[in-house]
Chain A
Amino acid sequence: MEKTINKEQIRKPENLVYRRTPLLVDVPLSYCPGCGHGTAHRMIMEVIEEMGIQQDTIGIAPVGCSVLAYDFLDIDMQQAAHGRAPALATAIKRLWPDKFVFTYQGDGDLAAIGTAETIHACNRGEHFTMIFVNNGIYGMTGGQMAPTTLPHMRSSTSPYGRDVEIMGFPLKMTELITHLPGTYYVTRQSVHTPANVRKTKKAIRKAFENQKLKKGISFVEIVSNCNSGWKMNAVQANKWMEENMFPFYPLGDLKVDGQIVEKK
């Protein structure tokens, strides 16, 4: 005998397995289907909801695919110029030291045009959280080479693949800032499987909790896909990411509670 369950029963709290956090505004996202930005947004807002800090959080999203993040996240937000989110966050956190402040930046933003702001905010040991979405490409402007584009990887401005002799090497910004005394927590995660999503959420939670300690920057890199920019479907993009991005940008903690994690 088949047991049927109607809509009303499905909606009962005891039968719910998932609910959208009300802190995500109920509007269509501007991201391409399959992109990791949406999941990363959800993790941040779930953490803010669980910590009960909506009233005390200020987010900063600069130019990039997530430039419209303020349309999706139900918190006070500022839009920053390309690369400058850490400068805004520095001022906001110093002027409102008891607020939770975070930046949400792409790789072009954080590791190319905003290199100075990134390094100096980390080195000063500002007490905010940086979320770094690394998709190896400039998504918003149509798939140009990023500082994180892998050797031989194709983009619209490296159409034959990134030739490091001509175009220079990919920059491992996360490794670089790990060694700065002002960073307290540095980790690299992904959001392409449910297990990884859970780990990312835990990392974001820790990064936000750390702000209460006032011990420096908590930095969460999320290695993500850009199926449109990479010219793949979502499944191919995730597979390509596992096979190519993760060996170059290995997942895991780089620095925890101010201590560099030694690689075995």
Chain B
Amino acid sequence: MGELRLMKGNEAIAEAAIRAGCDGYFGYPITPQSEILEYLMAEKPYEKTGMVVLQAESEVASINMVYGGAGAGKMVMTTSSSPGVSLMQEGISYIAGAELPALLVNINRGGPGLGTIQPSQADYWQSTKGGGHGDYHLLVLAPASVQEMSDFVKLGFDLAFKYRNPVIIHSDGAIGQMMEKVVLFDPIPRRTDDEIKKQCPWATVGKTPDRKRSIITSLELDPGKQEQVNLRLQAKYRKMEAEEVRYEEIACDDAEYIFVAFGTSARICQKSIELARAKGYKVGLFRPITLYPFPVNPLRELSTKIKGILVVEMNAGQMIEDVKLAVSCSLKVEHYGRFGGIIPTPEEVTENLISKVIGG
């Protein structure tokens, strides 16, 4: 059985990285996620599991360290918050283009610009629609608890290697900073060199006479071949859409109205459900866990049984576009958002459901 601890979300990510058998972490300090690098430096996993931990000179450097390490078959990750993740976008696009496994974490803070260090969900579009240049997708996991911060590190690495695609944990400063109990999974040993060579025959680990040289690149100058590369990527994304959708339904069985929310907003909505039900409204919550692939079909199915949706986000209305596409505008879909680092209260969320969707 796993070990029970009281931890911050950020600490859970760091501890889970060590336990998942991660080979290398590269990062640059930024609030509200600096605890991840601090925790790792205090734990010194390089003396225990052999995991490399390095404070890079910038997020540009750390994402390119991840690119290098991933190309060499290693299990590598970086974490940052909004402005830092913006700085990484070229490198993320290269990693997606070269089809490498890597784990990224964005502990969202309010923007735009330097914005605020308070929690936000305003990087939804950046995480789910590309962010960098070119047609690519990250696989996006949205934890709503410290437990999921830990679990999704392991899941994230598994998916990254399964699809040879970067996975991003899209979280926010509230979950990063709050403390909850978490059951940590048992440590998994780091892969041996031989295991890496077997698992990743494409990796740059030194060319042996029995194989062609491994080349890690996203360059293909011939447009005909580059289109084939894109088609291969698109086929991979369709496979993810078919196989990797994750979501949770809470109190939806008898619901007439639902919230659609992820991460911290979903936590708040759970309380709002209680408040609404106390007033006699049958309200549930649909929580996308994978933001990409978005749970289109389950939401569409649920939408046929309800009368209206309130999308609750700590942004000005980003995921609502995916919700509307999923339900084909077949019912009332409204948005309630707070932004700039404000976390909505359960009361105001319930009030907005009543005023905007249920109707007074």
Query: A interface vs B, CB < 8 Å?
Result: 54-58, 60, 67-68, 70, 74-81, 84, 87-92, 94-96, 99, 116-117, 120
A-B contact pairs, 27 of them (CB 8 A): A55-B209, A56-B206, A58-B72, A58-B204, A58-B205, A70-B217, A76-B204, A76-B214, A77-B214, A78-B217, A79-B217, A84-B91, A87-B60, A87-B61, A87-B64, A88-B64, A88-B68, A90-B54, A90-B68, A91-B24, A91-B76, A94-B24, A95-B74, A116-B58, A116-B60, A117-B60, A120-B61
**Nearest-CB residue, chain A, relative to B74:** A95
Chain B residues, CB < 8 A from A94: 24, 52, 54
Return the chain B residue nearest A113 by Cβ.
B60
Majority DSSP secondary structure for residues of A touching B:
helix
Query: In residues 74-108 of chain B, which contact A (Cβ within 8 Å)?
Result: 74, 76, 90-91, 94, 98
In the bound complex, residues from chain A placing their C-beta under 8 Å from that of B42 are none
* Known contacts A76-B205, A76-B214, A76-B215; A88 and B67 CB within 8 A of each other: yes
Q: How far is the CB of A85 from chain B (nearest CB, A)?
A: 8
Q: Is the CB of A91 within 8 A of B68?
A: yes
In the complex, what's the smallest C-beta–C-beta distance from B251 to chain A, in angstroms?
46
Tell me if B207 is interfacial: C-beta within 8 Å of chain A.
yes
Q: How far is the CB of A11 from chain B (nearest CB, A)?
A: 24
**Closest 7 pairs between A and B when the two form their complex, measured CB to CB:** A88-B68, A87-B64, A76-B204, A79-B217, A84-B64, A91-B65, A91-B69
**CB of A216, distance to nearest CB on chain B (Å):** 16
CB distance from B282 to the nearest CB of A (A): 52
B333 to chain A, nearest CB (A): 40
B136–chain A nearest beta-carbon distance, Å: 15
Residue of B nearest to A25 (CB): B213
Residues in A with CB closer than 8 Å to B297 are none
**Chain A minimum-CB-distance residue to B193:** A96
**Residue B68 contacts which of A55, A68, A75, A87 (CB distance < 8 angstroms)?**
A87
**Those of B267-320 within 8 Å (CB) of chain A:** none
Would A78 and B91 be within 8 Å (CB), given that A117-B57, A120-B57 are in contact? Answer: no
> Once the chains are docked, how many angstroms separate the CA of A56 from the CA of B69?
16
Instruction: Answer yes or no: B23 CB below 8 A from chain A CBs.
Output: yes
CB closest residue in chain B, given A61: B217
**Residue picked from B56, B68, B74, most chain A C-beta under 10 Å:** B68
Q: Which of A74, A84, A89, A91 has the most CB of B within 10 A?
A: A91
In the complex, the answer to whether B216 meets A79 with C-beta atoms within 8 Å is yes
| In the bound complex, CA of A67 to CA of B219 (Å) | 9
Tell yes or no: B29 within 8 A of A by CB.
no
Across the interface, A79 reaches (CB within 8 A) one of B58, B65, B219, namely B219
Q: Closest approach, in angstroms, between the C-beta of A60 and any C-beta of chain B? A: 7
Task: Verify if B152 is at the interface (C-beta below 8 Å from A).
Answer: no
Nearest B residue to A117 by beta-carbon distance?
Answer: B61
- A92-B72, A120-B61 known; 8 new pairs, CB 8 Å cut-off, are A76-B206, A78-B71, A79-B218, A80-B67, A87-B60, A91-B74, A92-B68, A95-B69
Note all chain A residues with C-beta closer than 8 A to B74. Answer: 91, 95-96
CB of B24 within 8 A of CB of A95, answer yes
Q: Which residues of B contact A60 (CB under 8 A)?
A: 68
Decide yes or no whether B157 CB sits under 8 A from chain A.
Answer: no
Decide yes or no whether B66 CB sits under 8 A from chain A: yes
Inside 8 A of B65's CB, which chain A residues have their CB? 87-88, 90-91
Contacts of B214 in A (CB 8 A): 76-77
Chain B hits for A92, CB < 8 A: 68-69, 71-72, 204
Who on chain B is nearest to A30 by CB?
B221
Known: A76-B215, A79-B216, A94-B52. A84 touches B60 (CB 8 A): yes
Return B267 CB to nearest CB of chain A, in Å.
35
Provide the bound-state CA to CA distance between A68 and B57, in Å.
28
